């Protein structure tokens, strides 16, 4: 059994890790110590997707079965070596939010030690002066309405892949780590400003809905989602975030938002076996060791 408190040095910074035996996923007995181990191992491929993106975390000090809470502001007790970016709150006059930046392993481990299970980031980065840049990515979050599952999400993913290819945008898939699938594409060269990416994504979602109305819905109204897949285009809003690649999710058993290949997406759609696209932390580490970061084209 590991000690409950241990001080480690990460990138020159001392961090006291605590409550290592705390069970965060009661269904499997997955502990905080195991979560720290997972994030430390996956850090080399996760950090490029976190770098220079204002960070929002979901913390669950008492385990994922509890309510937990979302945290955008860097806590006051955080160490001074964690970088920040101060951004105005939408519609709040002069009020601002001091977002943290997780640009190194030390920052990542500090947040995990604070029971940050989930990491969420926007589709844009900040520049050297900590000012927001134009969005460099587009995302489509595919959310199945029961009895639809991730299998139907894979079918919709193929439609979106073909649609975006017409505009010269290559999409890469990853699991949400919960029920659905997410598709990312690089749009830095398109120089979308403001809500431009959001408007474009909305247009694409509507066009795919018209193409397959029995399978796809683009409106957020929950009553319309039954048996169909919602293409959530709204996460391209500059004010919104999406779960970061390789982040754990606060679901019943440890599950990771995992980059996958188009071959795996096609195999899931063909076989109807949604479990093909559910990955536990150790499985993700093994995948990375074997194949590297499937999202590497989006990391730069």
Among residues 102, 117, 113, the alpha carbon closest in space to that of 4 is found at 113
Q: Which residues have CB under 8 Å from 79's CB, separation 6+?
A: 13, 110
pLDDT value at residue 220: 85
- pLDDT tens per residue across span 263-279: 999 999 999 999 999 99
CA distances to 4, 82, 167, 262 from 32, rounded to whole Å, are 10, 21, 44, 33
pLDDT value at residue 120: 98
Q: Do both 73 and 11 map to the same domain?
A: yes
Q: Do both 205 and 79 map to the same domain?
A: no
Helix (H, G, I), strand (E, B) or coil at 177: coil
CA dihedral 284, 290, 291, 292 (to 10 degrees): 70
Query: Which among 65, 86, 121 is the end of a domain?
Result: 121
What is the CATH classification number for the domain harbouring 17?
3.90.920.10
Query: Which among 70, 93, 121 is the end of a domain?
Result: 121
Q: Do both 207 and 101 map to the same domain?
A: no
- Between β-strands 181-186 and 137-144, what pairing exists: parallel, antiparallel or unpaired? antiparallel
Q: Do both 195 and 261 map to the same domain?
A: yes
| Residue 208 pLDDT exceeds 90 | yes
Confidence tier at 57 by pLDDT (50, 70, 90): very high
| Residue 174 pLDDT exceeds 50 | yes
| Residue 91 domain flag | yes
Q: How far apart are CA 204 and CA 187, in angstroms?
A: 14
**E-assigned strand segments in 80-219:** 84-88, 96-100, 116-121, 137-144, 171-175, 181-186, 216-217
Do residues 176 and 242 make contact, with C-beta atoms less than 8 angstroms apart?
no
Helix (H, G, I), strand (E, B) or coil at 146: coil
Work out the percent of the chain whose per-residue pLDDT is above 90: 90
pLDDT value at residue 1: 46
Q: Do both 256 and 154 map to the same domain?
A: yes
Task: Quote the DSSP letter at residue 275.
Answer: G
248-252 average pLDDT score? 97
242-256 average pLDDT score? 98
Q: How many structural domains is the chain composed of?
A: 2
Q: Do both 16 and 55 map to the same domain?
A: yes
Q: Do both 107 and 172 map to the same domain?
A: no
Q: Do both 95 and 163 map to the same domain?
A: no
Q: Do both 95 and 156 map to the same domain?
A: no
CB atoms within 10 A of CB 236: 27
Find tokens 């929002």 and name the residue: 56
| Residue 289 domain flag | no
| Residue 129 domain flag | no
Range(s) of the domain holding residue 195: 137-283
Q: How far apart are CA 68 and CA 117, in angstroms?
A: 10
Higher pLDDT, 300 or 218: 218
Least confident of 115-129, 167-181, 216-230, 284-298: 216-230
Q: Do both 165 and 88 map to the same domain?
A: no
Q: Do both 143 and 279 map to the same domain?
A: yes
Q: What DSSP string runs through 110-131?
A: HHHHTTEEEEEE-S--B-TTS-
Q: Do both 117 and 141 map to the same domain?
A: no
- pLDDT tens per residue across span 13-28: 999 999 999 999 999 9
């Amino acid at each position: 059994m590991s000690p409950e408190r241990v001080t480690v040095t990460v990138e020159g910074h001392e961090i006291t890790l605590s409550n290592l035996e705390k069970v965060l996923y009661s269904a499997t007995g997955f502990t905080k110590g195991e979560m720290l181990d997972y994030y430390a191992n996956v850090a080399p491929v996760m950090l490029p997707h976190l770098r220079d993106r204002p960070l929002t975390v979901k913390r669950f000090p008492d385990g994922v079965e509890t309510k937990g809470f979302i945290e955008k502001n860097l806590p006051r007790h955080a160490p001074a070596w964690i970088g920040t970016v101060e951004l105005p709150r939408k519609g709040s006059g002069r009020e601002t939010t001091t977002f943290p930046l997780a640009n190194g392993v030390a920052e990542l481990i500090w947040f995990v030690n604070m029971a940050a299970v989930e990491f969420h980031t926007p589709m844009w980065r900040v520049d050297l002066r900590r000012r927001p840049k134009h969005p460099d990515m587009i995302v489509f979050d595919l959310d199945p309405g029961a009895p639809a599952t991730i299998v139907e999400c894979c079918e919709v993913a193929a439609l979106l892949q073909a649609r975006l290819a017409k505009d010269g945008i290559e999409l890469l898939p990853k699991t949400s780590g919960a029920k659905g699938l997410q598709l990312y594409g690089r749009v830095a060269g398109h120089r979308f400003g403001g809500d431009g990416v959001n408007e474009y994504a909305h247009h694409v979602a509507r066009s795919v809905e018209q193409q397959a109305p029995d399978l796809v819905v683009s409106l957020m109204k929950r009553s319309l989602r039954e048996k169909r897949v919602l293409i959530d285009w709204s996460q391209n809003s500059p004010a919104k975030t999406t779960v970061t690649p390789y982040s754990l999710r606060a679901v019943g058993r440890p599950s990771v938002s995992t980059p996958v290949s188009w071959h795996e997406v096609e195999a899931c759609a063909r076989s109807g076996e949604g479990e093909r696209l559910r990955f536990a932390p150790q499985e993700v580490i093994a995948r990375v060791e074997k194949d590297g970061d499937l999202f590497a084209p989006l990391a730069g």
